[in-house]
Amino acid sequence: MINPGADKVFAGNIPAIYESHLVPLIFEPYATDLARRVAPKSPASVLEVAAGTGVLTRHLASVLPETVSIMATDLNQPMLDHASAIWTKRPVAWRQADAMQLPFADRMFDAVVCQFGAMFFPEKARAFSEARRVLKPGGVFLFNVWDRIEENEFADVVTTALASMFPEDPPRFLARTPHGYHDRAAFERDLAAAGFTAFPDIDTVTARSKADSAKTAAFAYCQGTPLRNEIEARAPSRLAEATDLATQAIASRFGRGPVDGKTQAHMISIEAR
């Protein structure tokens, strides 16, 4: 029961749970890392694609001078609505946009950034080509993607637990999409196909994912991501049961108090020539 289109649906109360639970659980340290990589480039204009609920946007607004324009975009209007409602240190422009067909002129931005969005692009090379198109010569494209699911402990445990609940049709959203684009050769191939002629810099960044309880971590994954759509597609009445099962699995491995698991991602940077 695979509906790839549902992988990109962040609607209902998913945006709110995503922001309150998933952002502090796994996204915050990587947003800090990515924003710190952008700042030394001294851009005058920045485009963010797949901004989600704006965790990277807020970090960019904090580390970049107020003279730098920031345009934050996302395909999902509910995510963008949630992001724009959260206070930022200074004004940010928000706009609904598809990374596959950006509504901006050629050579408009000094930097294009994307935090954990590239995995969701149906055609990576096409989206990367759009990033290159809107970059000024000498501009930089920076994005990060999750490493394989086995290097991201909570996501791996949750996926394994839910497979035991739905053995005939296990929910594979986390492995298929967020953790499904992790091969370095694929980054290089897709960037070259997009017209980038420079060789990308690729760093692997390891961090820790921490929550006050196994339940908090399980709730974040099961109800704050499109994994929820997969669970409810299989059994609409069993979301709470699935969340409890994931909670038990995380607690069994990491303990029943505060939990701490490994996360790992790749950071890719490439210059437009």
- pLDDT over 70 at 9, yes or no: no
Hey, CA dihedral for 189, 192, 194, 200, is it positive or negative? positive
The whole-number pLDDT of residue 227 equals: 96
Confidence of residue 18 (pLDDT cuts 50, 70, 90): very high
Degrees (nearest 5) of the Cα angle 263, 49, 219?
Answer: 40
DSSP character at residue 6? G
**Burial zone of 193 (CB within 10 Å; 0-12 exposed, 13-18 middle, 19+ buried):** middle
Convert the pLDDT of each residue in 126-183 to its tens digit: 999 999 999 999 999 999 999 999 999 999 999 999 999 999 999 999 999 999 999 9
Q: What percent of the chain has pLDDT over 70?
A: 96
The whole-number pLDDT of residue 12 equals: 76
Distances from the Cα of 122 to the Cα of 8, 9, 98, 125, angstroms: 10, 13, 11, 9
Q: What is the pTM of this model?
A: 0.94
- pLDDT over 60 at 47, yes or no: yes
Confidence of residue 101 (pLDDT cuts 50, 70, 90): very high
* One-letter amino acid of 25: L
Cα dihedral 215→216→221→222 (10° resolution): 50
153 contacts: CB under 8 Å, gap ≥ 6: 209, 253, 254, 261, 262, 263
- pLDDT over 80 at 5, yes or no: no
Convert the pLDDT of each residue in 206-245 to its tens digit: 999 999 999 999 999 999 999 999 999 999 999 999 999 9
The whole-number pLDDT of residue 157 equals: 98
Q: Does residue 154 contact residue 209 with C-beta atoms inside 8 Å?
A: yes
Q: Does residue 254 contact residue 214 with C-beta atoms inside 8 Å?
A: yes
The whole-number pLDDT of residue 13 equals: 81
Tokens of 195: 């017209």
Question: What is the domain-level CATH number for residue 64?
Answer: 3.40.50.150
The whole-number pLDDT of residue 6 equals: 58
The whole-number pLDDT of residue 184 equals: 96
Distances from the Cα of 203 to the Cα of 139, 191, 217, 220, angstroms: 19, 16, 26, 27
- State how many domains the chain has: 1
Q: Does residue 182 contact residue 242 with C-beta atoms inside 8 Å?
A: no
**Burial zone of 100 (CB within 10 Å; 0-12 exposed, 13-18 middle, 19+ buried):** middle
Mean pLDDT (whole number) for 77-102? 94
Cα dihedral 25→34→205→135 (10° resolution): 130
Q: Does residue 48 contact residue 116 with C-beta atoms inside 8 Å?
A: no
The whole-number pLDDT of residue 85 equals: 94
Do strands 69-74 and 45-49 pair parallel, antiparallel, or not at all (unpaired)? parallel
- pLDDT over 70 at 55, yes or no: yes
Distance CA 259, CA 249 (A): 12
Question: What residues make up the domain containing 163?
Answer: 4-271
- pLDDT over 90 at 7, yes or no: no
**Burial zone of 45 (CB within 10 Å; 0-12 exposed, 13-18 middle, 19+ buried):** middle
Looking only at Cα atoms, what is the longest distance across the chain?
55
Cα dihedral 56→57→63→64 (10° resolution): 140
